[in-house]
């Protein structure tokens, strides 16, 4: 079954499904087989079916920590927040090490109420044994994911001050410093380690990319590839680095080499498509993405890239058709419904836009783009209602610039419509202190996708297997 895991991690879902079905005919009741079946269903976009498979598995094997974790991820995605929080707590109880590398920022927000309890578990372990390295690393990892970077570094100090610093502590400290913008300090920390493992070179590469030191990042990638020429993930990242530096022909070469080593790797396909588009071959770029989506119809990031290509060409009719295809492939994908609603609104089909935005909000009640479309609909009918109230409670720090701008405009108009003129004036002043108003197409991923921002940094994992299989940060695999 290790082969199946490799196929899933490489986004080769159809071969993985074929192997899984072949094994099921011989050994239908294996728990590991049932778990892989659920993982595969989730990666294929069949979230409700995956959740049902996990219910059956957990009825037979209730102490399966990874199954509890995956069920929590699925329930969170389906909008079942309280149930998700319980699942995450069950997973942590079964295996507390999962906390150090298993949660995305969104999941941490759901778990916020349970974080102090988890921190107490680690602190109790340290009170019993101050030299408990795993507990200290777990606590530091938890603090890192709560964005308490300074406290994280403080807790790591006993491990960093040893004559031979603990490798995991150096990794966590470097990531904390990088996320604080202390790129030079993070690089110095990694450089000071004698005989650093390959993981440090990969993290150094990511930090340089994160710091936009593109030439240095390319040089480090070259050094790694001289010793490890078949390391596909470095070729993938190198393609993204070259793309960010607008070295388009070299991007194409790196992406093609990445695809030779890691066939159909989604990030390599996207880098190749973006470079192709920037060289003026728009049709070829669109064709690359469409071919990839024919083989991987549940790749949400590639669907958003296709929508970005089409809206960039002002081909909104084709973009609407593509968004509908995305929904057909992954009906539980809130982003698909939200993007379609923004496109429909832009084309003037306001009723359909509102219905589609509501569908997105049923799947994810805090989806900002769907909230913006639905809030505009409330204003049009002259009855500011619950959507605008929810939009008012959204923290601006969580939004992209275009989303912040659209939110302020809607809240100003809502206050004006309700006679709250002082509040309306305050909103307009906030609005004019920011960027000019953007049209509904700004809610689509055009700018972010086409400008290719740095990849998120890899977060150190206590369980590489968890990250590898479920597609968590640092694993090089797309999230569920």
- Over residues 168-193, the pLDDT tens digits come to 888 889 988 988 889 999 999 888 77
Q: How many residues does the chain have?
A: 480
- Over residues 255-288, the pLDDT tens digits come to 999 999 888 888 899 999 999 999 989 899 999 9
Distance CA 96, CA 114 (A): 13
Instruction: Provide the residue range defining the domain that includes 271.
Output: 212-284
Closest CA to 172 of 205, 200, 194: 200
**117: confidence class by pLDDT, cuts 50, 70, 90:** low
Distance CA 183, CA 51 (A): 40
CATH of residue 257: 1.25.40.10
- Name which of 270-279, 313-322, 414-423 the model is least confident about: 414-423
**What is the count of structural domains for the chain?**
1
Instruction: Tell me the DSSP string of 236-293.
Output: HHHHHHHHHTT-HHHHHHHHHHHHHHSTT-HHHHHHHHHHHHHTT-HHHHHHHHHHHH
**How big, in percent rounded to 5, are the helix, strand and coil portions of the chain?**
75, 0, 25
Closest CA to 375 of 347, 329, 331, 342: 342
Query: Is residue 399 within a helix (H) or strand (E), and if so which, with residue range?
Result: none
Say if 97 falls within a structural domain: no
CA 343 to chain CA mean position, Å:
23
Say if 216 falls within a structural domain: yes
Instruction: Specify whether the CB–CB gap between 232 and 11 falls below 8 A.
Output: no
Judged against a pLDDT cut of 90, whether residue 62 lies above it is answered with: no
C-alpha torsion angle, residues 86, 397, 348, 446 (rounded to 10)? -100
Distance CA 165, CA 157 (A): 9
Judged against a pLDDT cut of 50, whether residue 451 lies above it is answered with: no
Say if 276 falls within a structural domain: yes
Distance CA 360, CA 465 (A): 32
pTM for the structure as a whole: 0.65
Residue-level pLDDT at 470: 32
% of the chain residues with pLDDT over 70: 78
- Over residues 65-91, the pLDDT tens digits come to 778 888 888 887 777 777 777 787 777
- Over residues 235-259, the pLDDT tens digits come to 989 999 999 888 999 999 999 999 9
> What is the residue whose two structure tokens read 């991923």?
445
Query: Is residue 480 within a helix (H) or strand (E), and if so which, with residue range?
Result: none
The segment with the largest mean pLDDT, out of 16-25, 57-66, 219-228, is: 219-228
Burial class of residue 281 (count of CB atoms within 10 Å of its CB; 0-12, 13-18, 19+):
middle
Q: Which two tokens stand for residue 476?
A: 């090089």
Residue-level pLDDT at 337: 93
Q: Which two tokens stand for residue 448?
A: 């972010």
Distance CA 216, CA 218 (A): 5
Closest CA to 34 of 55, 63, 3: 55
Say if 406 falls within a structural domain: no
Say if 342 falls within a structural domain: no
Judged against a pLDDT cut of 80, whether residue 468 lies above it is answered with: no
* CB-based burial, 17-45: b 16+ in 10 Å, e otherwise: beebeebeeeeeeeebbbbbbbbbbbbbb
**Bigger pLDDT: 93 or 140?**
140
Say if 25 falls within a structural domain: no
**397: confidence class by pLDDT, cuts 50, 70, 90:** confident
Q: Which two tokens stand for residue 229?
A: 């020429």
What mean pLDDT is predicted for residues 116-132?
79
Q: Degrees (nearest 5) of the Cα angle 447, 450, 453? A: 85
Average pLDDT value for the chain: 77
Say if 244 falls within a structural domain: yes
Distance CA 245, CA 451 (A): 10
Say if 257 falls within a structural domain: yes
**134: confidence class by pLDDT, cuts 50, 70, 90:** confident
- Over residues 348-392, the pLDDT tens digits come to 888 899 899 999 988 888 888 888 888 888 777 766 667 777 877
Judged against a pLDDT cut of 80, whether residue 473 lies above it is answered with: no
DSSP 165: -
382's torsion region: left (phi>0), alpha (psi -120 to 50) or beta? left
DSSP 332: T
Closest CA to 390 of 358, 422, 419: 358
């Amino acid at each position: 079954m290790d082969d199946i895991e490799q196929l899933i991690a490489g986004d080769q879902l159809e071969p993985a499904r074929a192997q899984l079905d072949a094994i099921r005919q011989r050994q239908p009741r294996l728990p590991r087989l049932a778990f892989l079946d659920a993982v595969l269903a989730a990666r294929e976009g069949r979230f409700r079916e995956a959740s049902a498979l996990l219910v059956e598995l957990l009825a037979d094997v209730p102490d399966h920590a990874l199954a509890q974790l995956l069920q929590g991820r699925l329930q969170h995605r389906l909008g079942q927040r309280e149930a998700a929080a319980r699942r995450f707590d069950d997973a942590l109880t079964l295996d507390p090490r999962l906390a150090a590398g298993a949660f995305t920022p969104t999941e941490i927000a759901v778990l916020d109420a349970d974080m102090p309890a988890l921190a107490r578990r680690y602190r109790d372990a340290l009170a019993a044994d101050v030299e408990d390295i795993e507990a200290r690393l777990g606590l530091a990892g938890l603090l890192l994911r709560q964005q308490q970077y300074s406290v994280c570094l403080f807790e790591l100090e006993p491990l960093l001050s040893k004559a031979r610093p603990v490798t995991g502590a150096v990794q966590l400290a470097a990531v904390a410093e990088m996320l604080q913008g202390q790129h030079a300090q993070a690089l110095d920390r990694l450089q000071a380690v004698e005989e650093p493992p390959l993981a440090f070179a990969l993290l150094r590469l990511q930090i340089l990319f994160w710091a936009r030191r593109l030439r240095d990042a390319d040089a480090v990638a070259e050094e790694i590839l001289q010793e490890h020429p078949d390391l596909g993930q470095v070729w993938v990242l190198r393609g993204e680095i070259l793309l960010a530096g607008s070295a388009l022909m070299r991007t194409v070469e790196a992406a093609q080499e990445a695809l030779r080593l890691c066939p159909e790797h989604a990030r390599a396909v996207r880098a190749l498509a973006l470079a192709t588009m920037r060289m003026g071959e728009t049709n070829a770029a669109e064709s690359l993405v469409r071919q990839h989506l024919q083989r991987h119809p549940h790749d949400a990031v590639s669907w958003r890239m296709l929508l970005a290509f089409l809206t960039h060409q002002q081909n909104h009719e084709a973009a609407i058709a593509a968004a509908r295809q995305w929904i057909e492939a992954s009906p539980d994908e809130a982003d698909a419904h939200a993007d379609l609603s923004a496109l429909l609104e832009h084309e003037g089909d306001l009723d359909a836009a509102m219905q589609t935005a509501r569908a997105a909000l049923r799947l994810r009640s805090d989806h900002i783009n769907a909230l913006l479309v639905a809030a505009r609909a409330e204003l049009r009918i002259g009855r500011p209602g619950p959507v605008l109230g929810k939009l008012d409670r959204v923290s601006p720090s969580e939004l992209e610039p275009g989303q912040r701008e659209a939110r302020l405009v809607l809240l100003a108009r809502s206050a004006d419509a309700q006679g709250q003129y002082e509040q309306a004036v305050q909103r307009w002043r906030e609005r004019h202190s920011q960027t000019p108003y953007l049209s509904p197409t700004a809610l689509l991923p055009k700018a972010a996708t086409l400008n290719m921002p740095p990849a998120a940094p890899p977060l150190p994992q206590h369980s590489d297997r968890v990250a590898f299989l479920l597609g968590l940060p640092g694993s090089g695999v797309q999230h569920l």
